[in-house]
Chains A and B, each alone.
Chain A
Amino acid sequence: MSRMYPPFHLAALALVGATALLAGCAAAPTREDPFEPWNRAMYDVHQVVDGNVVKPLAEAYVKATPEPIRTGVSNFFGNIDDLFTGINNVLEGRGDQAGDDFGRVLLNSTFGMLGVLDLASMMGINKDHKDFGITFGKWGAPQGPYLFIPLFGPTTVRDGTGALVRVLISPLGYIRDVPVRNSIYGVNYVDTRAQALSAESVLDTAALDRYRFLRNAYLKNRRYQVYEGKPPPEDDEDATAPAPAAGSTAPAPTK
């Protein structure tokens, strides 16, 4: 079954690439988001489906489930994240960090009851986050056009490819019992959505245009992760504009 994916995926990528070229010829909204009109439409679709179904479900889950249980659920899936963080740290040649990650998985999977307890964090082995999108970026893959995918969220061609790779090799995929597996996927989804509720609330307060605020933040954050917290300065036409003088020329803020 999984054999079918790579060629299909390549075809999809080629299609996306070709569309990117075509869109590039037209008046492209921005370099990083050539499909902005399409993405905005997808964002609107997402808002409707998420706002009417997924978000209420996540809120109901938070309300109905005691916090220790929710933490256990998050930890269980977080343990699988740690496994992939370790794999990606190996792929990036960061053996020291990978050792910590695999140590966490080993400890939490056994004494932490399949990851439900995050004993490793209590013992001071810190959690890290790496994924295939970051690894591809470190290997030099360009991020490609920004994409907003309904019920998945902001991504890019590179990061979306990384997410697909992960789905294809996830340990959850080896669960034979289909109803059980699908239930776990469902809980995983609701748990992830519930964890995003706080951030979403902050985004709602901060953003004038939510689509754009989210896109800018997503792209900056991913760049930051690829460069391990030390991104080089960008070629930003505005960066030179006001800077230090502005503080002194501006009127004093109301105090």
Chain B
Amino acid sequence: MSRSIASTLWLTLTLALATALAQAQEAPDALVKRVAEETLGAIRADKDLQAGNPAKVKQLIESKLVPHFDTARMTALAVGKNWRSATPEQQKQLTEQFQTLLIRTYSNALTNYRDNKMNYKPLRMNSGDADVVVRTEVTRPGQAPVQIDYSMEKMPDGWKAYDVVVAGVSLVTNYRDEFNDLVRSSGIDGLIKALAEKNKGPVPK
């Protein structure tokens, strides 16, 4: 009796572990494709999301997208050289605020561009690579396609994106000189405050 419980337990654990490993080893391009299709699919299936209901869009992004981004590294890249002089507490606050800003931007972009089609380009990657660029392309009717590249790194719990580059524009480093100036004029806390203020405002339609 107790043996069968033990073996069931063992089986469950093995399965859970295997699933976890499979998740972790999902190739970066497959991950981008799965997450993008799931997100767009969720939007197409839900009228509230299509109408841009802010709470629902935010919830969708936090559950589907955020787990696949290394937001701490994104923040560090956006802040640049001043990141190192920030205290761990300041780094935490910066990351929180910057993540919120990115979520708001993504919510807006998703609502505005939901009808676009994504194409996935073949991934060039060697086994053992821990840092790759997954290239995608968004096509819109009557427009030249827009390239969106995801810089991704291998983490213990799977591949995570740390930069998104839209038509050559990094959504992360595009902030850098502005953040530098804010830190120069009002310190790291000034930057945190400016981000928090921005995040308090309404999301433009």
Which A residues lie at the B interface, using CB under 8 A? Answer: 30, 71, 74-75, 78, 118, 121, 126-129, 198, 201-202, 204-206, 208-209, 212-213, 216-217, 220-221, 223-225, 229, 231, 237-238, 241-244, 246-247, 250-255
Contacts and interface: CB of A to CB of B under 8 A. Distances in A.
B62 to A, nearest CB: 10
B142 A208 contact: no
A212 B80 contact: no
Interface of A is mostly: helix
Given A198-B113, A212-B178, A238-B81, A250 B141 contact: no
A173 B73 CA distance: 51
A128 B105 contact: no
Closest 8 CB pairs between A and B?
Answer: A224-B168, A246-B76, A250-B72, A247-B73, A238-B80, A198-B112, A204-B204, A129-B144
B80 A242 contact: yes
Contacts of B77: 242-243, 246
Given A118-B142, A217-B174, A242-B83, A205 B147 contact: no
Contact of A250 (B73, B101, B174, B203): B73
Nearest to A229: B147
Contact of A208 (B72, B143, B195, B205): B195
Contact of A71 (B88, B141, B145, B176): B141
B75 interface: yes
Interface stretch (B11-19, B29-37, B38-46, B90-98): B90-98
Contacts of A237: 81
Contacts of B107: 205
B159 interface: no
A44 B184 CA distance: 25
Nearest to A226: B168
